[in-house]
Amino acid sequence: MYCSLQSNVFWLLNPKPSAKIPKFRSRRLETTKSMPQAERPEHILAGAVQYSKSERDCKKMKFAVKAWSKSGRARVGLLQLSSTSNSFGQGGPPAKEIEIETPALLLTTRKGLPAFISPDHLSSLPSPDSRLLQFSPMHFMEGPNSKTISTIGGVHQLLGLHDYGFFAVPRDSILSLPECSSSNKNGASFETPCGRFLVKPVEYMKMISSMKPDLYVSLADEVHASVTVKRNKASVDRTIRWLDDCISLKPTDGALFGSIVGGCSIEERQHCAQEVAKRNVAGYYIGGFGLGDSVDERSTLLHAVTDLLPKEKPRQVCGLGLPEEILQGIAAGIDLFDSMYIYHLTLGGFALIFPLDGNCKHVFNPQLSAMASDGTKINLKATIYRKDASRIVDGCNCYTCQNHTKAYINHLLNVHEMLAQILLEIHNTHHYLSFFRLIREAITEGKFEEFRQKFIEKRRDHLLAASFSTCDLQTPVRSRA
């Protein structure tokens, strides 16, 4: 499972939940400032363990960096989620242990389950890659109330997915959109299908207590890129204050990620990052992206934040979904991503086909019109697929490719049958998870920057783009939907 490392490195992480406390205490590393780039050797392991607050906790999160890229920012890590269970004998949930390598993709859900992939099919996706599910507590505004969710036993029980890691993030791009104009000093406002809600820290933490996710993000005031300087500053102040509220209201279970905002202002971002880094949190959520900000400025802002954060704690970002954006985020040192990309592709009838290794299995066919394929994805509604009895991607091990043809999916799309979306979400998720796996391999082999450049070039090959000069990898890429 772990990629072979070239230098003789070791790591101190003991995977067993009942492990003895390793020598490196997290406290010491928390105060270590980040090393300047030049001094950081390649492939060093920062062995660090971050336990969630109380040793009495049922749920534990551990994270450790395993390998670094040449630039010293992108990294491969190992995230461990475990839960011991005191109530298993009395009908409670069983203990679980999830070990997942980062950078990793959090699967997007609606009310905790994927939009189309039912639980029995979910388990056929690559594991443990597919074991992290993201949801917003606001999904349940039109669902069972907190008391009922508590009675049922929390989200794992509610969704019948005990072996999965649940990550609660207030913001979600389908069902819980931040509505910054309605947020105020008391709480953050979200637009949901059943109305707009102002959520205060105490209410938010009440939801978290009843839902008991493995990981959750503190309530943040994420603002649109176009807000005034004053509003942006207020969002930082509120976010820090709400983080402190969340910390003091913290339930005994689950790992808290501190939210960092600051919009498009480098200074505000840095200020927020410094403040949050002082708090005792298990990881960091970098919010405010994908809300009207430009991709060009994003790298600078991301670097400004990640340079100030402790290396050994995981970082998550929301709203960077396209492959180039993911690569951009990873280059800045982000470990966890959610993505709406799969959902939008699936709804549109698209299937991902971009090559997953050096041996390009999908031959780019210049005769295929742009309507049908662009080298990244194919539009299965296109009539050329009517009689195509081949699978979406030759060699893909997902349920869809192993069992169905392009012709069948084309038919399902034409007659508006739900099975089309189910099959597409399965394939697209599988494909995107493989993309993440490739990235991790590239980082471990010290080839991440080359991988990124090659990937972007291949994407550009299919565009009628003007010629470009040598790609400066620090400059973010203009991505195309």
Partner 1 sequence: MMALRFEVLGRFNRARAARLTLPHFTCETPLFMPVGTQGTIKGLTTPQLEEIGCQIILGNTYHLALRPTSELIDELGGLHKFMNWPRALLTDSGGFQMVSLLHLADITEEGVTFQSPVDGKPMLLTPEESIQIQNRIGADIIMALDDVVKTTITGPRIEEAMYRTLRWIDRCIAAHKRPTEQNLFGIVQGGLDPVLRDICVQGLVERNLPGYAIGGLAGGEDKDSFWRVVAQCTASLPESKPRYVMGVGYPLDIVVCSALGADMYDCVYPTRTARFGTALVPEGVLKLKHQSMAEDTRPIDSTCECMVCKKYTRAYLHCLVTKDAMGSQLLSYHNLYYMMQLSRNLHSSIIQGKFPEFVCDFLRKMFPRGDVPEWVCNAMEVAGIDISSCCTPFNSKVNLHTLSK
List the one residue from 369, 390, 403, 474 that touches partner 1 (CB under 8 A): 403
Give whichever of 79 and 149 is closer to partner 1, judged by the CB atom: 149
Largest interatomic CA distance in the chain: 66
For tokens 């105060």, the residue is 31
404 binds partner 1 (CB under 8 A): yes
Rounded Cα distance between 32 and 24, Å, is: 13
92 binds partner 1 (CB under 8 A): no
Contact letters (x/-) for partner 1, 294-313, by CB under 8 A? --------------------
User: What SS3 state is found at 213?
Assistant: coil
Note every long-range contact of 149-158, with CB atoms under 8 Å and residues 24 or more positions apart, other chains counting: 149/210, 149/211, 150/209, 150/210, 153/92, 153/93, 153/212, 154/210, 154/211, 154/212, 154/213, 155/112, 155/211, 155/212, 155/213, 156/93, 156/212, 157/93, 158/112, 158/211
Rounded Cα distance between 450 and 70, Å, is: 10
Dihedral Cα 285, 286, 287, 288, nearest 10 deg: 180
Dihedral Cα 237, 242, 245, 247, nearest 10 deg: -100
389 binds partner 1 (CB under 8 A): yes
128 preceded by a cis bond (ω within 30 of 0): yes
Rounded Cα distance between 84 and 440, Å, is: 29
**CB contact at 8 A, 267 and 233:** no
> Closest approach of Cβ 140 to partner 1, in Å?
7
Q: Choose one: 52-60, 95-103, 106-114, 322-330; the region binding partner 1 (CB under 8 A).
A: 106-114
> Closest approach of Cβ 388 to partner 1, in Å?
9
> Closest approach of Cβ 58 to partner 1, in Å?
21
> Closest approach of Cβ 407 to partner 1, in Å?
6
Contact letters (x/-) for partner 1, 413-432, by CB under 8 A? -xx-xxx-xxx---------
Residue count, binding to partner 1 (CB under 8 A)? 43
94 binds partner 1 (CB under 8 A): no
Per DSSP, what are the bridge partners of residue 165? 132
387 binds partner 1 (CB under 8 A): yes
Give whichever of 363 and 415 is closer to partner 1, judged by the CB atom: 415
Rounded Cα distance between 178 and 376, Å, is: 30
Q: What are the distances in angstroms from CA 374 to CA 59, 436, 460, 462, 464?
A: 44, 21, 10, 6, 11
> Closest approach of Cβ 389 to partner 1, in Å?
6
142 binds partner 1 (CB under 8 A): yes
151 binds partner 1 (CB under 8 A): yes
Give whichever of 119 and 292 is closer to partner 1, judged by the CB atom: 119
Give whichever of 259 and 410 is closer to partner 1, judged by the CB atom: 410
Residue 99, class by beta-carbon neighbours within 10 Å (0-12 exposed, 13-18 middle, 19+ buried)?
middle
Q: Choose one: 5-13, 32-40, 321-329, 404-412; the region binding partner 1 (CB under 8 A).
A: 404-412
> Closest approach of Cβ 191 to partner 1, in Å?
16
List the one residue from 58, 158, 309, 342 that touches partner 1 (CB under 8 A): 158
> Closest approach of Cβ 397 to partner 1, in Å?
15
55 binds partner 1 (CB under 8 A): no
Q: Choose one: 157-165, 216-224, 229-237, 364-372; the region binding partner 1 (CB under 8 A).
A: 157-165
Q: Which of residues 169-208 bind partner 1 (CB under 8 A)?
A: 193
Q: What are the distances in angstroms from CA 100 to CA 75, 249, 321?
A: 14, 29, 20
> Closest approach of Cβ 174 to partner 1, in Å?
10
Quote the tokens at residue 339: 């993505």
Per DSSP, what are the bridge partners of residue 110? 113
Binding site for partner 1 (CB under 8 A): 110-111, 113-116, 118-121, 140, 142-145, 147-148, 151-152, 158-160, 193, 386-387, 389, 399, 403-405, 407-408, 410-412, 414-415, 417-419, 421-423
